[in-house]
Structure 1
Amino acid sequence: MMKLSAFLSFLFFLLLSAFATTISAEAVVDSDGHILRNGGKYYLSPATPIGGGGIIASAIRHGDSNFCSLAVVSALFTNGWGVTISTYLKVTFIKTTYPVNLAFAYLAPNVCTDSPNWVVVNSLPLGQPVMLGGAQEFSAASVPGQFYIKTYDAEKHYYKIVFCEQGKDHCGDIGVKVDSAERRRLVVTDDKNPLVFKFYKVKESSNSDLSMVV
């Protein structure tokens, strides 16, 4: 009886350890090794010097009209803007298996959009760039789907962002394409060359320098 009890205890310990390892492997952590909080604000900083620049928004003019929209871009020589990372799931922390909403935390008032949310649209010649706004702003051009954060190098806390389009059986990496105005636009790509990030927690006192639309 004692041997059976000891065996069951050992088996329970193994199962608990395996469960804890799985949970840990799925957790997304910031540069300090802390798990990303649901609704937390973070800088998406390039993991390597060649990975790109800080993530901000840039105004895109449409012809000679006053109509504009905001594109999500990778800009050099800046820390970027804080991004709120959240999931609709009723959880405290963010994991690689959770769909996430990405939104600039301190978007300045502007004439292009009143929504800070990232959205993927169909737009030639870039393919599927990442813009700001709601799906209704882009009508039929908006692409239904979900963003996810996926591990790129667990030991270094490197991550990439993928977009999984509704109805498709694979997800595309978020990478960069340069447009005709030399802007480094974030786009959904299948070229296996994703932007690789580390997440740095935003200090609330630093929000004053995050809001300028360029």
Structure 2
Amino acid sequence: MASFLFPTAAITLLLLVLSPSPSVAGPILDVDGDILQNGGDYYILPAFRPLISSAEGGLRLTPAEDSSPCPLFITHDWSKRGLPVKISTLFKIPILKTSYPIIFSFEKVSTTCNKPLRWWVAPSDANDKSYVIVGTSGPFKPTYSFHIEENKYAKGFYFIKFCHTIESEIFRVSAMDCKDVSILDDGKLGVAEDRTYPFIFKKYSPKKIASDV
């Protein structure tokens, strides 16, 4: 039986196609120019806001239409700074950088939902919309994660991505399939294709635990 060998050039090309695009991880900065701390609490605000001095656009939690305690949707409110979000990575490092897998969670809030308020993405609904939710038990699959990506054209502006790591069963190399985390037309935080939405990060100043829902 004749043996079949891949030409070296063909194998090299396949590896290049399946491998994730190289990127240089840089520090993530807040609006004051300080580097985000691993496990720190920050307000996540739209980079572009209406020409109203009091406009903030912060995040808040909203129950589902059936008023069940869990899960909760994430919405934004132009009139308020919203709730602070704990931003962390499992890497044992003091600061956060782009390209790292990120965990977002609400820690400084009291709700009627008794489950962890970690961000996750729900399956698409009947209208083919996929929302970011909290108050679910997972499963938090290791091949899925959030990432923060720098806006190359505006310093201090960032995009949030939800990515799926795809591993080839043949060559054991990985590729990333990412979608944009954005404010959808109904005001809820969701995931969509080719819908970048720039955010900024503002340090949270501890006062008291907020009550939202």
TM, length-normalised to structure 2: 0.73
Provide the C-alpha distance between the structure 1 equivalents of 2:32 and 2:161, rounded to a whole number of angstroms.
Answer: 23
The 5 A counterparts of 1:24-39 are 26-39=26-39
1:40 matched residue in structure 2? 40
Aligned to 2:106: 104
User: Are positions 1:49 and 2:49 aligned together?
Assistant: yes
SS at match of 1:131: strand
- Count of aligned pairs: 178
Other structure's SS at 2:111 match: coil
Secondary structure of 2:105's match?
strand
Superposed counterparts of 1:123-202, under 5 Å: 123-124=124-125, 125-136=127-138, 145-153=144-152, 155-167=154-166, 169-179=176-186, 184-190=187-193, 192-202=194-204
Indicate conservation of the 8 Å contact 1:119/1:135, yes or no: no
> Where do 5+ consecutive residues of structure 1 fail to align?
1-21
Q: Any unmatched runs of 5+ in structure 2? A: 1-22, 167-174
Aligned pair in 2 of structure 1 residues 155, 176: CA closer, same or farther (>3 Å)?
closer
Q: Verify the 8 A CA contact 2:44 2:202 in the aligned structure 1.
A: yes
One of 61, 64, 68 as aligned partner of 2:65? 61
Structure 1 residues 90-137: Cα deviation after superposition (integer angstroms, max 9, x where no partner): 100000021010001212131x3421100111031253210002344x
What fraction of aligned residue pairs are identical, expressed as a percent? 29
Q: SS of 2:211's equivalent?
A: coil
Distance in structure 1 (CA, Å) of the matches to 2:44 and 2:203 = 9
SS at match of 1:162: strand
**Cα drift, residue 170 of structure 1:** 1.9
CA RMSD of aligned residues (A): 2.8
**Which of the pair is proportionally richer in helix?**
1
Given residue 35 of structure 2, which amino acid in structure 1 is its aligned partner?
I
Q: Which residues in structure 2 correspond to 1:14-25 (within 5 Å)?
A: none
